[in-house]
Amino acid sequence: MKFLRTLAVYILLIPTVLLSLLPLCVHHLLARFVAWLLGPVLKYRLPVVRTNLKAAFPDLPEEETQVLVKGYYLHIADLICETVWSLTRSYAHIKKKGVCSVEGGAMLNDMFVRHGSVVVLLGHTGNWELLPGLPVYSDEATYGYDNVMSAYHTMSNRLSEELFLRLRSFHRFKRKNLVPSGSFLRYALEHRDDRKVYFFIADQRPEGKGSVETVFLGLKTEWVAGAEAIARRTGLPVAYIGINKIARSRYVIKCEAICEDSAATQPGDITKSFASKLERDIIADKGNWLWSHKRWKDLGIYDNNKR
């Protein structure tokens, strides 16, 4: 069974790697086709995308909503094609091409130097799949890949899990840099004396206990509180990263401080600050977020959706 799973992974991986060798301009053309396929043809989660946008921006004219929906599918297609393209490019090459640049890198590095470790929160803005190259993109970074750890959700399907881990391990960012979110608190406590930069994508819809509630984009929203719990338990400083999309395959990674001493904060303060910064970035560029997820299931706004 393991052999068949490994074989299936390579059957999927080899053509992906070969496709990756094509120039970025060709991937932009492919993205146009993928966007057409996802949008007009398959209508991938179209009811969810429209419902989310209308709920978050109820006063937005229908014409502008239509423009956002159409642009969203090109945005998602760009993310897919950029991620494939990046598999066979070094992070130094990605930086040289101007795909990723950094603002506020000195602040983040200063937190790391002064405190030894730092917790970083981000949402699904820009192309978050390119973020593991931050130690190269940031000229001020004194941390390296041995210091960077990223939380991820394990998958029930073993084939998908193995393919995900192999795709994430093409560069100097390896499997050892990935920690299942369910084990992250234990890992952080066990490595309390080590120098680490912990990355958490914190805008997923929570399941179970340990959530924080805010009003986000005008809607009652529950947030995963795991990253905050880890930060407050260890007393580490917390930073926010927003990935702004300024053009196709042009991203600015902006680093901001949330707090220096998380142990001194009240429960929910860190998550609320993160949500506020993420909301600000989404309002500034409405198309630069993952609108195809059912983020507000508890509100019942998807009850009439077929997907």
Determine, yes or no, domain membership for 5. no
Beta strands in 15-153 (DSSP E): 100-103, 118-122, 148-152
pLDDT in tens, the chain (307 residues): 676 777 777 788 889 999 999 999 999 999 999 999 999 999 999 999 999 999 999 999 999 999 999 999 999 999 999 999 999 999 999 999 999 999 999 999 999 999 999 999 999 999 999 999 999 999 999 999 889 999 887 777 777 777 777 777 767 667 788 888 888 888 988 998 899 999 999 998 877 666 899 999 999 999 988 899 999 999 999 999 999 999 999 999 999 999 999 999 999 999 999 999 999 999 999 999 999 999 999 899 998 775 5
Number of domains composing the chain = 1
Determine, yes or no, domain membership for 116. yes
Determine, yes or no, domain membership for 3. no
Q: What gap in Å lies between CA 142 and CA 286, rounded to an integer? A: 33
- Cβ burial 2-15 (10 Å sphere, 16+ → b, else e): eeeeeeebeeebee
CA atoms within 13 A on the CB side of 172: 14
User: Are 180 and 152 in contact, with CB atoms under 8 Å apart?
Assistant: yes
Determine, yes or no, domain membership for 252. yes
Beta strands in the chain (DSSP E): 100-103, 118-122, 148-152, 178-180, 197-201, 211-216, 219-224, 238-247, 250-259
Q: What gap in Å lies between CA 122 and CA 113, rounded to an integer? A: 21
pLDDT recorded at residue 147: 93
Q: What gap in Å lies between CA 74 and CA 25, rounded to an integer? A: 14
Determine, yes or no, domain membership for 7. no
Determine, yes or no, domain membership for 307. no
pLDDT recorded at residue 7: 74
pLDDT recorded at residue 36: 97
Q: What gap in Å lies between CA 131 and CA 121, rounded to an integer? A: 12
User: Over the chain, what is the mean pLDDT?
Assistant: 91
Residue 125 belongs to domain spanning: 16-299
pLDDT recorded at residue 175: 79
Write down the residue that tokens 């009003």 correspond to: 215
User: Are 39 and 70 in contact, with CB atoms under 8 Å apart?
Assistant: yes
Determine, yes or no, domain membership for 10. no
226-234 and 269-284 helices cross at what angle (nearest 10)? 130
Determine, yes or no, domain membership for 4. no
